[in-house]
Chains A and B, each alone.
Chain A
Amino acid sequence: MVTAVFDRARRVPGSRERAGDLLFRLTISGVAGIILLAAGALAWQLARESASTWKSFGLAFLWTSTWDPVSDVFGVLPFLYGTAVSSLLALLIAVPLGVGAAIFLTELAPKRLADILMFAIELLAAVPSVILGLMGIFILVPGMRALGAPYGVGMLTAGLILAFMVLPYITTITREVLLTVPRPLKEAMYALGGTRWEVVRGVSLPYARSGIVGAVFLSLGRALGETMAVTMVIGNTPKISASLLAPGYSMAAVIANELAEAASDAHLSALVAIGLTLMVVTIVVNGAARLMLYRLGSRK
Chain B
Amino acid sequence: MAATEIDMRPMSLPAESSATPKAMPIAMSVRDLRASYGAASVLKDVNLEVRERTVTAIIGPSGCGKSTLIRCLNRMHEAIPGATCDGDILLGDRNALALDPVLLRREVGMVFQRPNPFPTMTIAQNVAAGLVLNGVCDHAVLAETVEKSLRRAALWDEVKDKLDAPGVGLSGGQQQRLCIARALAVEPRVLLLDEPCSALDPIATGRIEELLLQIKDQLTVVIVTHNMQQAARVSEYTVFMLMGEMVEYGLTRQMFTKPTDKRTEDYITGRFG
Residues of A within 8 A of B (CB): 182, 184-185, 187-195, 198, 202-203, 206-207, 209, 300
Within the complex, the shortest CB–CB distance from A210 to chain B, in Å, comes to 10
Complex-state Cα separation, A185 to B186, whole angstroms:
18
- A191 lies within 8 A of B183 (CB): yes
Instruction: Name the distance in Å between A276's Cβ and chain B's nearest Cβ.
Output: 40
Interface string of B122-162 (1 = CB under 8 A from A): 00000001101110000000000000000000000000000
Q: Tell me if B133 and A207 are in contact (CB < 8 A).
A: no
SS class of chain A's interface: helix, strand, loop or mixed?
helix
Apart from A184-B114, A191-B109, A193-B134, what 7 extra A-B contacts exist at CB < 8 Å?
A185-B118, A188-B118, A188-B179, A191-B76, A192-B105, A203-B118, A300-B119
Q: Which residue of B lies closest to A192 (CB)?
A: B130
Minimum CB–CB distance from B199 to chain A (whole Å) comes to 12
Asked if residues B129 and A192 are in contact (CB atoms below 8 Å), the reply is: yes
Q: 8 Å CB contacts to A: which residues of B62-109?
A: 74, 76, 79, 102-106, 109
B256 at the interface (CB under 8 A from A): no
Q: Are B106 and A193 in contact (CB under 8 A)?
A: yes
Contacts of A188 in B (CB 8 A): 112, 116-118, 179, 182
Residue contacts A-B, CB under 8 angstroms, 12 given: A185-B116, A187-B76, A187-B79, A188-B116, A189-B118, A190-B76, A191-B74, A191-B109, A193-B102, A206-B118, A206-B121, A207-B119
Number of B interface residues at 8 Å Cβ cutoff, please give it: 27
Give, as a whole number of angstroms, the nearest-CB distance from B197 to chain A. 16
Q: Find out whether the CB atom of B110 lies under 8 angstroms from the CB atom of A193.
A: no
Distance between Cα atoms of A206 and B125 in the complex (Å): 13
Kindly identify which residue among B103, B110, B132, B134 contacts A191, using a CB–CB cutoff of 8 Å: B110
Pairwise interchain contact A192-B183, C-beta atoms closer than 8 A: yes
Which residues on the B side are within 8 Å of A198 (C-beta)? 133
Q: Which of A193, A195, A202, A209 contacts B118 (CB 8 A)?
A: A202
CA distance A188 to B119 in the complex (A): 12
List of B residues within 8 angstroms of A192 by Cβ? 105-106, 109, 129-130, 133, 182-183, 186
User: Contact between B109 and A187 (Cβ–Cβ < 8 Å)?
Assistant: no
Q: Please tell me if the beta carbons of A202 and B129 are within 8 angstroms of each other in the complex.
A: yes
The winner among A192, A194, A195 for most chain B CB atoms within 10 A is A192
